[in-house]
Structure 1
Amino acid sequence: MKLGARMMKTGLAVGIALYVSNLFGFISPLLAAIAVVFSIQPTIYRSYQSIIEQIQGNTIGALIAIIGVYTLGNDPFIVGFAIIIVIGVTTGMKMNENTIALAVVAVIALMDSTDQTFMYFAFSRFTSMLLGIFAAFVVNLVFLPPRYETRLFNKIDLASTDILQWLRVTTRQLSDEPALKYEITRIQDDVRWIDHTYLLYSEERTYFKGQAFAKGRKLVLFRQLITTTKKSFDVLKTFHRLDDKIEQIPEEFQDAVVNELDKLISAHEKLILSLKGRIKNVHKQSLRRIEDPDIPKLVERLIHVYEESNNPDKLVFLPLASQLMEYHDQLEKLKRLLKSYQTHHKEAYIQTTQK
C-alpha cells in the first residue's frame, strides 16, 4: 500500500482535531474529525478557498437547523425538510459537493435530540465542526506542502518516455498487439492525470510579483510540453490503427517514415534531457544540425505516392501525414520556447527532481 501525502495529512489533521476537541471538552469530537475529512484539499490555494466556503456552508446549515428547531421542532421529517432547504441554498450558491455534504452533516448534528440546552448543544457541535475545518487548513498549510512543479514534470517525462519507446517499436512492426492496446489505455489515463496535475500547479498562488511572472513563464512552457506529448501520443495511436495497412505503401517510403520519425523522437528526447540539464550547451547546436527532421518533405513524398497510385485505400494514410506535421510543428514550437526560456531566464530553472 502506497501512502500519499494527502492520506497522511488527513490522518494527521483528524488526530489534531480529536486531540484539541478532547482537550477543551467539546461535546462531539467526532464531528471535528468528520469536518476534517470533508475539508482536506490537494493544494494550499484550494484549502484557502475551502475554508471560506466551508464556514459559509456550515453557517447556513446551522442557521437553518436552529430556525427549524425553534419553529417546527426536530421531528425526522422536519430534519429532512431542513436538509432539502440547505441543499437548495448551497447548490444555488454553487458550492462544491464537499461543502454541501458537510452543511447537511451540520443540520443533522444540530437537529439531533438532546436533553441539554439547545443553544449550548448547537454551539458546541457547530464549534466542533469549525475546529475540524481549521485543523485541515493548518495541516494543508504547514505539513507536506505539495510540489506540483516537480510532480508535473515527472509525469510528463514518464509519459513521453513510454510513448516514444512504443513509437520506435511500432514503426518497425515489432509491437505486440494486446500489449500495445493495453499501454495506449494506460497512457490515456496518464495524460488525464497530467492535465489534472497541470490544473493543480496552475492554481498554486505566488506571493510576490517576480514569482508570478516566473510562474507564468513556466506555465507556458509546461503547456507546450503537454501539447507536444499529446501530439506524439496521437501519432502512436495513428500507427496502431494503421498497423495492418502499412504494407500498402512502398518499402522505400516506409523506411523514410521510420527515419524521419526517429529524428522526431530523438529531438523530443533531447528537449526533455535539456530541461533536466543533462545536455551541454556547447553540443546542442551540432546535435540539432545533424538530426533535424524534415517532415514537410516526407509529407510531399506521401502525396506523390498517392498521385502515382489509383488505389483509394492509400488515402487512409492522410491522417498519418497530418499527425506527423502537427507533431513536428508542436516540437518546433517547444524548441523555440525552451531556447528562449533557457537563454533569458537561466536562474528560473524548472524543478525536475525533489529537493
Structure 2
Amino acid sequence: MKIGTRTLKTAIGTPIAISIAQVLGLANFVSAGILTILCIQPSRKRSVMSAWHRFLACVVAALFSMVFFELFGYHPIVIGIMLAFFIPVTVLLKVTPGIATSSVIILNLYSAEYISFTFLTEQFLIIIIGIGTALLLNLYMPSMENQLKQKQDELEHNFQIILNEIALYIRNKNENWDGKELRICEEVLQDAMDLVLLDKENHLLRNEHPYRDYFQMRGKQLELLERMLPLVSKLPNRDAISLKIARFFENLGDNVHPGNTASFYLDELEELRRTFDREKLPETQEEFETRANLFRLLHDIEDYLLLKKKFKKSDMTDKKTTQKRPE
C-alpha cells in the first residue's frame, strides 16, 4: 500500500495545527485540525487559491453569524435561514470551496451561544492556524519529472509497436494485432496531460511547461496513425512500393525518440514519392484506388513527420553524412 504525499501532509499538518491552537489556549482548538484537513491541496496554485477562498468565506461566515444569531437567536432554524443567504453570497464572491471550511466556524459560533470579541478573535486565530498550516505544508511539492519521463517512455514504446505492426501488416497482411496499443496511448496521453497540468500548478510563475507541447504533438501524431490504418489495409499485397513503405514504417518504429530527426525521414519520404511518380499510370479502377490510397498515406506520413519537425529543432547536423538517429 502506497501512502501519497497529500496523505502524509494531512497526517502531519492536522496534529500540528491542533497542538498550536491548544498551546495558545483557544476554544474549539480541534477545529484548527479540521481546517487543515480541508485545505490540503494537490498543487501549490490550488493551495494558494484554496487558502484565499476559505479565509474570505470564513470572514463572511463570521459576519453572517454575528448578524443572524444576535438578531434572531441561537436556534437550528436560524442556521438554515442563514445558510440560505450565505451560500448565494459565496457563489457571488466565487469562494464556494470555502463553504465547508466556513461551516466549521459557523457551528463554533452557534455552539458558543454568545459572540464576544474575545471568542471571535479566537476563531480567527483558528482560521489562520488551520489554513496557514496547510498552506505551509503545500509549499513542498515533489518533482513530477520522473513520472512525466515514465509516461514519455511508455508512450514511445507503444508508438514503436504501432509503427512496427503497421509494417508487419503491409508485408504479410498479418491480422493478429488487436490494436490495443492505440487505446493504451490515448490513456497514457490523458494521464500525462493531467500530470503536466498539476506540475504547472506547482510552479506559480510558470506559464509554459516543457512536456506540454511534446504530449500535444504526440496526440496529433496518434490521430494521424489512426487515420493511416484504413489506408494501409487497402495497399496491394507485397508489391515494390508497398515493401518500401513497410521498410519506412519499420525505420520509424525502430527509432521513436524524444529527439528530432524528422528532416532525415522527410528526405526519405520525398524519395518514396519520386519512386511513386515513376510508376506507370493505373489502368484499372482497382489500381487507381490503390494509387489514391498510397498518395493519401504518404501525405499523412508527411504530416506525421512535420509535427515532429515543428515541435523541436532538428538533431541532424549533417543529413548527408549522419546516420539514422531516433525519430
> What TM-score comes out, normalization by structure 2 length?
0.74
For residues 162 and 14 of structure 1, the distance between their equivalents in structure 2, rounded to whole angstroms, comes to 43
For residues 85 and 339 of structure 1, the distance between their equivalents in structure 2, rounded to whole angstroms, comes to 66
Tell me, which stretches of 5 or more residues in structure 2 are unaligned?
318-327
Aligned residue pair count: 308
Q: Which has the larger radius of gyration?
A: 2
8 Å CA contact retained: 2:159, 2:256: no
For residues 79 and 184 of structure 1, the distance between their equivalents in structure 2, rounded to whole angstroms, comes to 54
> What TM-score comes out, normalization by structure 1 length?
0.69
Q: What's 2:137 paired with? A: 139
The yes-or-no answer on 1:327 pairing with 2:304 is: yes
Q: What's 2:187 paired with? A: 189
Q: What's 2:97 paired with? A: 98
Give the one of 256, 259, 284 matched to 1:268. 256
For residues 191 and 15 of structure 1, the distance between their equivalents in structure 2, rounded to whole angstroms, comes to 38
Provide the secondary structure at the position in 1 that maps to 2:257.
helix
Cα 1:223–1:23 shift into 2, 3 Å: same
RMSD in angstroms over aligned alpha carbons?
A: 3.9
Query: CA offsets, 1:59-118, max 9 Å, x none?
Result: 1122222222112234333212322323212222233x53333234443x2453335656
- The within-5 A match list for 1:173-184 is 173=169, 180-181=179-180, 183-184=181-182
Letter in 1 for 2:248: E
* Residue 321 of structure 1, CA deviation: 5.0
The yes-or-no answer on 1:310 pairing with 2:285 is: yes
Q: What's 1:251 paired with? A: 238
* Residue 191 of structure 1, CA deviation: 1.3
Give the one of 144, 158, 162 matched to 2:158. 162
* Residue 302 of structure 1, CA deviation: 7.9
* Residue 154 of structure 1, CA deviation: 3.4
For residues 315 and 211 of structure 2, the distance between their equivalents in structure 1, rounded to whole angstroms, comes to 10
The yes-or-no answer on 1:17 pairing with 2:17 is: yes
8 Å CA contact retained: 2:66, 2:115: no
Query: CA offsets, 1:17-75, max 9 Å, x none?
Result: 22223333333233222222321223333322332222112211222222221122343
Cα 1:22–1:329 shift into 2, 3 Å: same
* Residue 226 of structure 1, CA deviation: 1.5
Cα 1:199–1:74 shift into 2, 3 Å: same
For residues 263 and 81 of structure 1, the distance between their equivalents in structure 2, rounded to whole angstroms, comes to 71
Letter in 1 for 2:71: T
For residues 319 and 106 of structure 1, the distance between their equivalents in structure 2, rounded to whole angstroms, comes to 65
* Identity in percent: 19
Provide the secondary structure at the position in 2 that maps to 1:147.
coil
Query: CA offsets, 1:227-256, max 9 Å, x none?
Result: 33213322443456x39x715534334433
